[in-house]
Chains A and B, each alone.
Chain A
């Protein structure tokens, strides 16, 4: 017996097989809420499905009206705007757990930043053969163009959105580091605003830490990157977006507005004598810091892809001359490579001489003959991922895959062992989520798999971790994929004092 009884809403809630965020099976197999969820549970018990349904509809509608959407393009040039479905039941993280997450992430970001700096300078870690040189120089996001270029305060990584998951025992594991330009923080802020509107009383007495200082902190960090020449004029910071066709365009516009900085496209910028300028109706205005949401390869058609029209010709020259700072710096993607991910624990030990606080998901590399053998023999049980893709693309989930898909991935792994990794399926933890009835105005709570993306702002002096983050939830029953493109939704994340 492992179901919760009591309350129309909770009904036949099952905690079987997975770590459940809210409930725990206590003595005599009685399922009870975990202590830090007790207050919320009591509030939930007061509600029925109808009330939650109405609140849920209201919240989701308000996202649509505020334009908090992402755009999905199909054949016609129209583009459909979708919201990222919002689940009202928050995910709670008690202070001690959060402390662990924070110190683990701090450690990881410090080590990864040192790693990236080393890779683009002395390459000591390669010389000492802690990480095979071959894996780094063949990484798709290794940017040989920036080797030897110094960046302000030796800081490559400024904004990080690591993906954390919890396994069956409830241990937090890092799934991906996301050191390029992670998106989603606008949902964190919007979700919180929405929650405080819809259920203000849920917050009472819980000691939920606020998240609203994110944009202020980010703006301050970005200004701190400015080269000294900005002087009296004060630094000009801009946000560089690929433009309206980018699915995260809303977030770009939102963050620019919140920080009070200009939202620009590549064509708004130009370079003269290794200085970057804005084209304005008043002539040219110098730019000191660029928060870029454009991938490395598209930043400068001179240095990278010549066909890019999203970037600024000569930008790398300005970076090399130290006249402009980019956040994140060019080349951080090398540490996002899933093959490099496998080495992160070793990287932490190498640079910091510490044991990793947060674990990795075990990862098999097809470049190693023995591991390749194992992978090919167990494709049906493993998750195979392309080393350089994100967003749930280029992925095989063995237990859910057809024979053709498995055969296809077998060929791919054999053809390009450097391009893939394999991991066991992580039994993601579950959190109660509100599931509407297909008919009628009600609904009830069911367990759905979740992950957690905290947002980390790494400044010159300090690493700030937003106490909260994006909890993504796989709203389809049984699904382990939380990506917005594949039926995922989000929850507000409450970090408790």
Chain B
């Protein structure tokens, strides 16, 4: 599928602030499941933007507004092609294929896996790995002790979908897994954290993905889901909010141990006064034809991408300093991915009206106000 996503974040400050420093993770990556054709970031008031890649390979844009200002607007527009249809899983076994993943129980003793994905197997800030989530994970596994890793991931995802109540406002940007279990409700961010916890408890590497549902037209926030490392497939996305594997609708922006690593915006500023935040995410479907056809890489490319997938995180994250400073007046345009892919496609602006939950709020914040 091909989508244009516009993600607009607007802050208004009751009294002017200054020395505002921000880091945004809003640029969809080009991975083996998607390609970002173009990305545009507009900041108002104007600021110099620096781009770099973080440890997990996410594209980060960093900018500061040192002088007094009473508003801050960040608008990111991306054009992304995902390599699957709207209802087609992006990776993993298809419905008609046998599940080739090993028994989950067999993964625990895999020292190689433990070493390779250490940070996705242990507790992190939001994912504490406490007793409650451990018991829940073991209860799901108990249905069938020989359950494959893939089956566990799917079952755990649908378990969350069916046993928790999706409720905006029940939780906040700092809610932990234990609190979600206790409260029985949450938003996509909480669901993703919970699913991560369930996987990690049983030795299945799991990470947090921030992104969009490309077909959701209007929303007040971006989306989030989980990926787990299921051999031999590699990282498989599962959206616990929907309760099923990620499809061509899922546009991936950033990955990390949990929300803290991928928050779309983090920043600090000086000055007093309340800040009001308004987030608007808009998705447009640019082409309803099967994305697979358009963007399916050639055999060569495919092979290369597979290779990337199986390389260690360390290599994937081998970063050069992307120090190219672009002095602009508030906007910076970057074109990424193979330039030719998007050419010659009929641009049809059709909205998908399938019955899918509205884009779910992944909460956003510009924390750490340092008031003088």
Chain B residues 34-60 with CB under 8 Å of chain A are 48, 50, 52-55
Q: How far is the CB of B240 from chain A (nearest CB, A)?
A: 26
Task: Tell me whether B66 and A321 are in contact (CB under 8 A).
Answer: no
The residue that A271 contacts in the complex, of B21, B53, B115, B122, with Cβ under 8 A, is B21
Partner of B50, one of A134, A149, A274: A274
Which A residues are in CB contact (< 8 Å) with B318? 121-123, 148
Interface string of A304-348 (1 = CB under 8 A from B): 001101000110010011100000000000000000000000000
- Per DSSP, chain A at the interface is loop
A307 and B66 within 8 A (CB): no
Bound-state CA distance A470–B59 (Å) is 46
Would you give the shortest CB distance from A343 to chain B, in whole angstroms?
Answer: 14
Report if B118 contacts A (CB, 8 A): yes
Binds A, one of B148-156, B207-215, B216-224, B320-328: B320-328
Closest Cβ–Cβ distance, residue A128 to chain B (whole Å): 12
Interface contact A137-B54, CB-CB below 8 Å: no
Within 8 A of A (CB), among B304-330: 312, 314-315, 317-321, 323, 325
The contact of B115 among A132, A145, A303, by CB within 8 Å, is A132
CB neighbours (8 Å) of B268 from chain A are: 301-302, 306, 313
Considering the chains assembled together, what is the distance between the CA atoms of A150 and B323 in angstroms?
11
Given B55, B64, B368, which contacts A317 in the complex, CB threshold below 8 Å? B64
> CA A255 – CA B109 in complex, angstroms?
52
B363 to chain A, nearest CB (A): 15
Whether A148 pairs with B53 at a CB distance below 8 angstroms is: yes
B-chain residues with CB within 8 Å of residue A272 when the two chains form the complex: 64, 66
Name the A residues within 8 Å of B122 (CB-CB).
138
Contacts of B115 in A (CB 8 A): 129, 132-134
User: Whole-angstrom distance from the CB of B21 to the nearest CB of chain A?
Assistant: 4
Of listed B115, B122, B312, B325, residue having the most chain A CB within 10 A: B115
**How far apart are A309's CB and chain B's nearest CB, in angstroms?**
6
A270 within 8 A of B: yes
Candidates B116, B118, B317; contact of A148 at CB < 8 Å:
B317
With A133-B118, A145-B55 as known contacts, state yes or no: A320 contacts B321, CB within 8 Å.
yes
B266 touches A306 (CB 8 A): yes
In the complex, A314→B50 CA distance in Å? 11
Q: Does A43 contact B (CB under 8 A)?
A: no
Name the B residues within 8 Å of A123 (CB-CB).
Answer: 312, 314-315, 318
Cβ contact within 8 Å between A321 and B50: yes
> Contacts A133-B116, A133-B312, A138-B119 known; A313 to B21 CB distance under 8 Å?
yes
B100-139 interface code vs A (CB 8 A; 1 in, 0 out):
0000000000000011101100100000000000000000
For the complex, is B23 an interface residue (Cβ under 8 Å from A)? yes
With the chains together, A137 CA to B118 CA distance in Å? 7
Set of chain B residues within 8 Å of A302, measured between Cβ atoms: 21-23, 266-268
User: What is the minimal beta-carbon distance from B323 to any residue of chain A, in angstroms?
Assistant: 6
A313 to B62, CA, bound (A): 12
CB distance from B173 to the nearest CB of A (A): 12
Q: Closest CB-CB distance, B67 to chain A, in whole Å?
A: 9
Chain B nearest CB from A433 CB (Å) reads 46
B323 and A134 contacting across the interface, CB-CB below 8 Å: no
In contact, A145 and B54 (Cβ under 8 angstroms): yes
Q: Check: A230 CB closer than 8 A to any chain B CB.
A: no
Q: Give the number of A-B contacts (CB < 8 Å).
A: 92
Q: Please report whether the interface of chain B is mostly helix, strand, loop or mixed according to DSSP.
A: mixed
Given A148-B318, A320-B321, A314 and B266 contact (CB-CB distance below 8 Å) = no
Q: Are A127 and B62 in contact, with the CB atoms below 8 A?
A: no
Chain A: CB-nearest residue to B327: A273
Most B CB atoms within 10 A — which of A272, A313, A317?
A313
> B323–A317 contact, CB under 8 A?
no
Within 8 Å of chain A (Cβ to Cβ): is B145? no
Taken together as a complex, chains A and B put the C-alpha atoms of A384 and B22 apart, in Å, by 42
> How many residues of chain B get a CB closer than 8 Å to chain A's CBs?
35
A213 located at the interface, meaning its Cβ lies under 8 Å from any Cβ of chain B in the complex: no
Closest to A148 in B: B319
Smallest Cβ distance from B96 to chain A, in angstroms?
37
A301 & B368 in contact (Cβ 8 Å cutoff): yes
Instruction: Confirm or deny: B370 has a beta carbon within 8 angstroms of a beta carbon on chain A.
Output: yes
Return chain B residues, CB-CB under 8 Å to A317.
21, 50, 62, 64
Residue B183 CB within 8 A of the other chain: no
Query: Once the chains bind, are A134 and B114 in contact (CB under 8 Å)?
Result: yes
With contacts A307-B368, A313-B21 taken as known, whether A273 is within 8 angstroms of B55 at the C-beta atoms is no
Nearest chain A CB to B72 CB, angstrom units: 14
Answer whether A273 and B53 are a contact pair too, CB < 8 Å, given A134-B115, A302-B268: no
The residue among B22, B119, B320 with the most chain A CB atoms within 10 A of its own CB is B119
Whether the pair A148, B64 counts as a contact (CB closer than 8 A) is: no
Indicate if B367 sits at the interface (CB-CB under 8 A). Answer: yes
Cα-based distance from A59 to B139 in the complex (angstroms): 69
Report A265 CB to chain B, min CB distance, Å.
14
Interface assignment of B19: CB less than 8 Å from any CB of chain A:
yes
Residues 330-372 of chain B: 1 if any A CB is under 8 Å from the residue's CB, otherwise 0?
Answer: 0000000000000000000000000000000000000110100
In the bound complex, what is the Cα–Cα distance between A416 and B111 (angstroms)? 18
* Chain B hits for A122, CB < 8 A: 314, 318
A126 to B119: give the CA distance in the assembly, Å.
14
A320 and B367 form a contact (CB under 8 A): no
Give the distance in Å from the alpha carbon of A127 to the alpha carbon of B312 in the complex.
8
Contact assessment for B312 and A321 in the assembled complex, using a CB-CB cutoff below 8 Å = no
Interface residue? A32 (CB, 8 A): no
Interface string of A142-174 (1 = CB under 8 A from B): 001101111000000000000000000000000
The reply to whether A147 and B55 contact each other, CB–CB distance below 8 Å, is yes
Q: How far is the CB of B352 from chain A (nearest CB, A)?
A: 37
Q: In the complex, which residues of chain B have a beta carbon less than 8 angstroms from the beta carbon of A273?
A: 48, 64
Report A414 CB to chain B, min CB distance, Å. 16
Interface residues of A in 95-129 (CB under 8 A from B): 121-123, 126-127, 129
* Chain A residues near B53 (CB-CB < 8 A): 148
Task: Tell me the nearest residue of chain B to A135, going by C-beta.
Answer: B118
Residue pair B19, A274 in contact (C-beta under 8 Å):
no
Q: Quick one: closest B residue to A132, CB to CB?
A: B115
Taking CB as reference atom, which chain B residue is nearest A277? Answer: B66
Identity of the chain A residue whose Cβ is nearest the Cβ of B23 in the assembled complex: A302
The distance from the CB of B180 to the nearest CB of chain A, in whole angstroms, is: 22
Which residue on chain A has the smallest CB distance to residue B314?
A123
Closest chain B residue to A143 by CB distance? Answer: B55
Distance in Å from the Cβ of B255 to the closest Cβ of chain A?
13
- Can you identify 11 A-B contacts, CB atoms within 8 angstroms? A127-B314, A137-B119, A144-B54, A149-B321, A301-B370, A302-B267, A306-B268, A306-B367, A313-B268, A320-B50, A320-B52
Q: Which residues of A contact B (CB under 8 A)?
A: 121-123, 126-127, 129, 132-134, 137-138, 144-145, 147-150, 270-274, 301-303, 306-307, 309, 313-314, 317, 320-322
| Given contact pairs A127-B312, A133-B312, A270-B66, a sample of 12 additional A-B residue pairs in the complex whose CB atoms are under 8 Å apart | A122-B318, A134-B115, A134-B118, A138-B118, A138-B119, A138-B122, A147-B317, A271-B66, A273-B48, A301-B368, A307-B368, A313-B64
Q: Sorted from nearest, which 3 A-B pairs have the closest CB atoms? A: A148-B319, A306-B368, A144-B55
